[in-house]
Amino acid sequence: MDYIGRLTAHLPTANRLLMVKADGSVSIHADDRAYKPLNWMSPPCRIEEAPGVWRVVNKAGEELRITLEEVLHDSSHELGVDPGLRKDGVEAHLQELLAASPGVLREGYTLVRREFPTAIGPVDLFCRDAGGGSVAVEIKRRAGIDAVEQLTRYLELLNRDPLLAPVAGVLAAQSIAPQARTLAEDRDIRCVVVDYDALRGIERDELTLF
């Protein structure tokens, strides 16, 4: 196998698993590296099949050349349309829940905007505290140092705006890395660990009230 594209790669002859999907993708698996193939081509791409040689090319001109020396097994199956995967607990959902109940972050918080736009990207939640002060909230599932850096950038920018300043910072996450917490607190960013399940419970309770 040879790949010529964003990088070049060569793979000597060996027994391998080739997977060709209905979406047009091709992947070459060895008996390791979990679900990641040794090489692949993502759709949309075109497969040119000559005897013993496959040439897979995509729009950008990237190319996969596969030479087949022996076929140990070959089978094909109709899988039909997949009913789809339901995920729960990703950051987007956490943001929804906190947007609905900003008081969880601190008593008296009210939401001004979700995805508050700035020149360097949107702030997850923009709130006001009980005293009318501005609060920028960064939400992560797991907060690392990068999350603190991100929020710091937003705060620096927002605090240049005399209409908004002073803007306080809150880092809300299901878990916060110790180093991230240290860095955050050093920068006067408040850390809030949120319990996703409990938050979902609050949401349910509030819905029940109406």
Residues lying near a second copy in the complex (CB under 8 A): 6-17, 19, 21-23, 25, 27, 29-40, 42-43, 72-73, 75, 77-80, 82-90, 119-121, 141, 145-146, 149, 153, 179, 182-183
Stretch near DNA under the rule CB under 7 A, chosen from 14-22, 40-48, 105-113, 202-210? 40-48
Q: Of 43 and 133, which has the nearer Cβ to a second copy?
A: 43
The answer to whether 26 touches 20, Cβ cutoff 8 Å, is yes
The answer to whether 206 touches 191, Cβ cutoff 8 Å, is no
Alpha-carbon span 158 to 165, nearest angstrom? 7
124 binds, among DNA, a second copy, none (CB under 5 to 8 A by kind): DNA
Binding mask 74-103 for DNA (x = CB under 7 A): -----------x-x-xxxx-----------
Which residues face 206 on adjacent strands?
none
- For residue 32, the 8-state DSSP code is -
Cβ partners under 8 Å of residue 125, min gap 6:
95, 98, 99, 102, 111, 113, 114, 116, 136, 137, 139
Q: Of 35 and 210, which has the nearer Cβ to a second copy?
A: 35
Shortest distance, position 46 Cβ to a second copy, whole Å: 15
